[in-house]
A and B are shown apart, each in its own frame.
Chain A
Amino acid sequence: NAGVMQNPRHLVRRRGQEARLRCSPMKGHSHVYWYRQLPEEGLKFMVYLQKENIIDESGMPKERFSAEFPKEGPSILRIQQVVRGDSAAYFCASSPTTSGSAGELFFGEGSRLTVL
């Protein structure tokens, strides 16, 4: 049973380019969460999605960042016109349970974005 799969594991972009990070949740999981870990900091919530719906995007920067979780295919976190401050590790997690449940999250190994 494959775990949460994230790709690419490492991504290098120049300032102004776009970054796309993909996350395939565990089989049977319909809830996806994206977290960001800036250097020397902890995990910060970005967005919570269910299939075709954004449930909570209170942690997403207002500009340049977007996320989707289509009916088919992986969840995608998209960062347009990247800046050096976007350099971070981006973690995806999934859960099989409905919003508000006590179930734990299952994490991917993260995608490390470096902006030159």
Chain B
Amino acid sequence: ILNVEQSPQSLHVQEGDSTNFTCSFPSSNFYALHWYRWETAKSPEALFVMTLNGDEKKKGRISATLNTKEGYSYLYIKGSQPEDSATYLCASINTNAGKSTFGDGTTLTVKP
């Protein structure tokens, strides 16, 4: 994998459903992976910073896992609420490259 890829591109779920999406990134020269939440008409805000293989982070109903050997991360949302509706971005940083390379995001819509 040369670029950062996210799937699915969009997702529609009912309130209360649990959901997950995937971020694939280059595993060579891995340094860090970030997840961001981007609400309409606002700016992206960081959810998680992940650096170690096997990392698992949690914030309320949202959690993320990281596999640096195979180059993927999962974001999970348990019991989705309408306020979870947003675009979720992941960004990969290679060793000392400095810049974050973003995927195109997964847009989540939670219906009441």
Contacts and interface: CB of A to CB of B under 8 A. Distances in A.
Contacts, number: 61
Given A102-B93, A108-B43, A42 B105 contact: yes
A44 B102 CA distance: 7
B43 A91 contact: yes
A44 to B, nearest CB: 8
B54 to A, nearest CB: 16
Given A42-B103, A102-B49, A102-B51, A107 B98 contact: no
Nearest to B94: A100
A30 B32 CA distance: 20
A33 interface: yes
Interface residues of B, number: 25
Interface string A41-63: 11111001000000110110000
B28 to A, nearest CB: 16
A110 B43 CA distance: 7
B100 A45 contact: yes
Contact of A43 (B42, B45, B46, B89): B89
Q: Which of the four size classes fits the interface of chain A?
A: 20 to 34
Query: A interface, by DSSP: helix, strand, loop or mixed?
Result: loop
A95 to B, nearest CB: 9
A90 interface: no
Nearest to B51: A102
Interface string B73-106: 0000000000000000101010111111111110
Contacts of B89: 42-43
Given A91-B43, A104-B46, A56 B99 contact: yes
B51 A55 contact: no
Interface of B: 31-32, 34, 36, 42-46, 49, 51, 89, 91, 93, 95-105
Nearest 8 A-B pairs (CB), nearest first? Answer: A100-B96, A42-B104, A104-B46, A102-B32, A107-B43, A99-B98, A43-B102, A109-B43
